[in-house]
Structure 1
Amino acid sequence: MEQRLANTWRMSVNEKKFIETALLADLRVDGRRPFDYRRLTIKFGRQVLEDGSSEVQLGQTHVMGFVTSQLVQPYRDRPNEGSLSIYTEFSPMADPSFEAGRPGEFAVELGRIIDRGLRESRAVDTESLCVLAGKLVWSIRVDLHILDNGGNLVDAANVAALASLLTFRRPECTLGGENGQEVIVHPPEVKEPLPLIIHHLPVAVTFAFFGDGNIVVIDPTQNEEAVMGGRMTATLNTNGDVCAVQKAGGEGVIMQCLRIASVKATDIRSKINSAVEAHNMEKALRKIKRH
């Protein structure tokens, strides 16, 4: 992977050896235990027009998520369903190995992992996005901007996508006109925008394998990614069901990782829900004060 190779080139042999030796002693350079996450913080936009935006920090990793929508024609094979798409943007300011312009291999892979966990698990009710069957549906787009790469971009980007989707509100639509087939999109001042219907929250949990795969850690840092032998990302929903598994290299114990991932996913999901509830409460209080 291009990004991992770039990290390796920037590290000295002694630095890599130190990380590997510490892991053999069940220690990590940043002081965490093998299955400890770094500190996770979730922030949201304060303005009404910023509904559907989130800012997530996982240790030194910094990701922003934005959700937008537009009315489009549905796919022919799914005339009653809207769509959900994931896009990633890597800035050279986040990591010197990222190039501006065309997405690199890692950007494409990241988008696919998030997409597989969210869209293919049908977390968002796409049928509720239908406005006029066969003619107009809502297309939901999630943009993920990598601001700082401190390692484990997948988990941070996944949290940013979920937090943004939970706070997004789409305009209310009604049918009118002489034939009752004219779509009227109401501004937020006229009709309250509607939240998306989200069935479950698929949370991604990433593991890194070292040595012969017998050393496993969760939430690897950028330096740990440079020396790891393989990686696995498991995406689990609210019921603990596995929505997707992405594994690249390594001989790690998959079932053990899935059990740990289930516990960690529950914890992350709780933090997302708490952050969203606090945001909605603050938003409701501001609305009361304004009126």
Structure 2
Amino acid sequence: MFKVGIQSISKSVQRTGCLKLQPAAIQQRFISSSSKRLLPRIGGGGFNNNPSARYTFEEAKSGFNTSPDAKSKYVTAALAVGGTILGTHFVLNRETREGGLSPFEAKYLNETFTWLGGGLATVTAFSVGLFRSNVTARLMSMNPWAFAGISLVGSIGSLMGLRSVAPDNKGGKTAFWFLFNAAQAATLSPLLYIAPPALMVRAGLYTAGVIGSLSYVGATSKNDTYLYLGGPLLAGCVVIAISSLIPMFRVGAGVANAASNVSLYGGLAVFGGFTLYDTQRILQKARMIEGGAPIPYDPLNESISLELNFINLFIRILTILMNQQVNALKENKRLDGRSLLEGRPIEIQFGKPLGSVTIKLGECSVMSSVSCTVTQPTPERPYEGQLNISSELSAMTTPFYEPGMRGNTAEEEATLNRQLDKAIRRSGMVDREALCIIGGEKVWSLNLTLHYISDDGNLIDAGVIAAAAALLHFRRPDATVIGNEVTYHSEDERVPVPLAINHTPISFSYVFFDDFDNAVLDPTALESQLSSATFTITTTPQKEVLTITKNGGTTFAPQTVLDCLGHATERAAVISKQLHTAINEDLDRRKIGGVL
């Protein structure tokens, strides 16, 4: 039976000639118009030792929560996998074969699973390599549909070559096998941008348990018990393929959700059934070869069917685990243990120069710095100084912000700069008239620069806090004006002068989810990826509302907006106090006056 593995965008696999697009729960995250990005900065990246990437392998290992509650969950998961094995054995495998497998059958099956393990290891290694080298991000940013098309052609072409090469031609066979696994890796690698490592490991373990248990059932049951499933499974594959395509068209939300559920949960049943069927088909072929039938001895070819089953089941199990995040939010639970309206702890670090501050919001890190020069004022505002703000996203933040990539990075930078400008400069945080040295001739020009070091969601809140902290911490040189003569004093001569600050802007971002009315404060990358809308408020400890921004989603109820405003204004006072306390303590250590 001809079986082709392909994927659309993140990884869809074609089975028995029928197109299998990725489950809609993941697929829509790549091409959703509301998200306005091709590969959002999803929560967790992949296994990576590149400092420019989201996660290293050590971070991936440390991604497992070792709290008692988490350990109990891991034990429960292990028991669930073991229960799956025992349950399928006793429910489906009531009549076992007598005498077990023959030595030839056991050898053929073992070699098939050896190739399966090698194929999965190759796909994993290639996926991580593509992720670390940023090849996937570049291709997805330039043209995601071309990326999907190349993956499709590569999968079909390499599989056809693999099937056509005789088993005796080991070099050609192995070459096509590597090409096939590379094509699978190319289309699976985007998952590394949207799923945390610990979640992917869990999905892999669950998938291995399902494949192992079903293969065990197929291998130990009576001969030909499940071979009749071939026809029904093929029909089910067609239904799954059609269901995967439906959400791509303009249909009602109910129809799209129903189709997505059919593709997701129906796919679990179909590809689980294919695992039973393939195991018994492999053993049947082994018996025929042992009996002298003119069939080539080719366990490598047999492993491809099981590999496609594994990939399809893995994608669906990973999708279910990611969807559990939204379901957990409906029960006021978050993966990191916070309540819905609880922000991540803020860590403030100061550099050696005044005005150099690093803000860490959970795993999100932003470094800001302020410098000043003397310049001429603009003709329109001859008695006002200048405040220039610049920020840049790079591969240091996440691999997806690779320099030179089109569309996504520029859009993200423009959005961040626009919100920063509204929150800091246009809100009048700094009294720019106090920056005037000689009216119409000389003014101070402040240059505020932000470097986004790492991104785990909610860069805008971290950026606004970092910008405000840097301006509060900065001191400009003192200057003496006598007539048109200006004397600038060094730190040794006079104590530097703090900026005249009108207010301290603090930003709060809330995300919303479909079919879930409650707001979620300070979203992680994964929560942002799964959300349908973002609502950002910039306010002050004096309860002044400076900016309100909404991205994506539908309109909010007035009460929802009021609730968010009330919560934001209350938290602004707490965070502002934390900022001022930390800054004053640092300035005291430097023996410089505190914040005015």
Q: For 1:205-216, list aligned pairs within 5 A.
A: 205-212=508-515, 214-216=517-519
1:84-114 deviations in Å (ceiling 9; x for gaps)? 1211122202211112268621112111112
2:433 pairs with 1:127: yes
Tell me if structure 2 keeps the 8 A contact 1:3–1:106: no
Q: Which of 554, 578, 584 is matched with 1:277 structurally?
A: 584
2:188 pairs with 1:153: no
Tell me if structure 2 keeps the 8 A contact 1:208–1:225: yes
SS in 2 for 1:97: helix
2:309 pairs with 1:2: no
Q: For 1:181-196, list aligned pairs within 5 A.
A: 181-196=484-499
Q: Which residue of 1 aligns with 2:108?
A: none
1:193-246 deviations in Å (ceiling 9; x for gaps)? 111010110111110111146131000001101111010110112310101111
SS in 1 for 2:40: helix
1:138–1:213 CA distance, 2 compared to 1 (3 A): farther
Q: Which residue of 2 aligns with 1:163?
A: 469
1:243-265 deviations in Å (ceiling 9; x for gaps)? 11111123442111111111111
Aligned counterparts of 1:98 and 1:15: Cα–Cα separation in 2: 26
Tell me if structure 2 keeps the 8 A contact 1:42–1:57: yes
1:4–1:206 CA distance, 2 compared to 1 (3 A): farther
Aligned counterparts of 1:101 and 1:158: Cα–Cα separation in 2: 26
Aligned counterparts of 1:71 and 1:80: Cα–Cα separation in 2: 13
Q: Which residue of 2 aligns with 1:139?
A: 445
2:526 pairs with 1:223: yes
SS in 1 for 2:437: strand
SS in 2 for 1:41: strand
Q: Which residue of 2 aligns with 1:288?
A: none
Q: Which residue of 2 aligns with 1:247?
A: 550
Q: Which residue of 2 aligns with 1:80?
A: 383
Larger deviation: 8-17 or 77-86? 8-17
Q: How far is 1:186 from its partner?
A: 1.9
Q: Which amino acid aligns with 2:452?
A: I
Q: Which of 338, 351, 360 is matched with 1:57 structurally?
A: 360
SS in 1 for 2:401: coil
Q: Which of 524, 541, 560 is matched with 1:238 structurally?
A: 541
Aligned counterparts of 1:205 and 1:112: Cα–Cα separation in 2: 16
Aligned counterparts of 2:572 and 2:379: Cα–Cα separation in 1: 36
SS in 2 for 1:127: helix
Higher helix share: 2
Larger Rg: 2
2:78 pairs with 1:43: no
Aligned counterparts of 1:72 and 1:38: Cα–Cα separation in 2: 40
Tell me if structure 2 keeps the 8 A contact 1:234–1:246: yes
1:15–1:70 CA distance, 2 compared to 1 (3 A): farther
1:50-75 deviations in Å (ceiling 9; x for gaps)? 10000111100011110111111111
Q: How far is 1:22 from its partner?
A: 1.0
Higher relative contact order, chain-length normalized (CA < 8 Å, sep 6+): 1
Q: Which of 562, 568, 584 is matched with 1:261 structurally?
A: 568
Q: RMSD value over aligned CA atoms?
A: 1.9
Tell me if structure 1 keeps the 8 A contact 2:41–2:456: no
SS in 2 for 1:5: coil
Q: How far is 1:4 from its partner?
A: 5.8
SS in 1 for 2:494: coil
Q: Which of 409, 413, 428 is matched with 1:107 structurally?
A: 413
Mark the runs of 5 or more structure 1 residues left unpaired by the alignment: 286-291
Aligned counterparts of 2:38 and 2:576: Cα–Cα separation in 1: 28
Q: Which amino acid aligns with 1:221?
A: T
SS in 2 for 1:66: strand
1:101–1:80 CA distance, 2 compared to 1 (3 A): farther
SS in 2 for 1:145: strand
Q: How far is 1:124 from its partner?
A: 0.6
SS in 2 for 1:247: strand
1:140-181 deviations in Å (ceiling 9; x for gaps)? 1111110010111111111111111111011112235xxx31
SS in 2 for 1:214: strand
Aligned counterparts of 1:6 and 1:66: Cα–Cα separation in 2: 25
Q: Under a length normalisation based on structure 1, what TM-score does the superposition of the two structures give?
A: 0.90
Q: For 1:15-26, list aligned pairs within 5 A.
A: 15-26=321-332
Q: Which amino acid aligns with 1:272?
A: L
Tell me if structure 2 keeps the 8 A contact 1:71–1:137: yes
Q: Which amino acid aligns with 2:475?
A: R
Mark the runs of 5 or more structure 2 residues left unpaired by the alignment: 1-35, 44-189, 195-317
Larger deviation: 52-61 or 211-220? 211-220
What fraction of aligned residue pairs are identical, expressed as a percent?
33
Aligned counterparts of 1:81 and 1:221: Cα–Cα separation in 2: 39
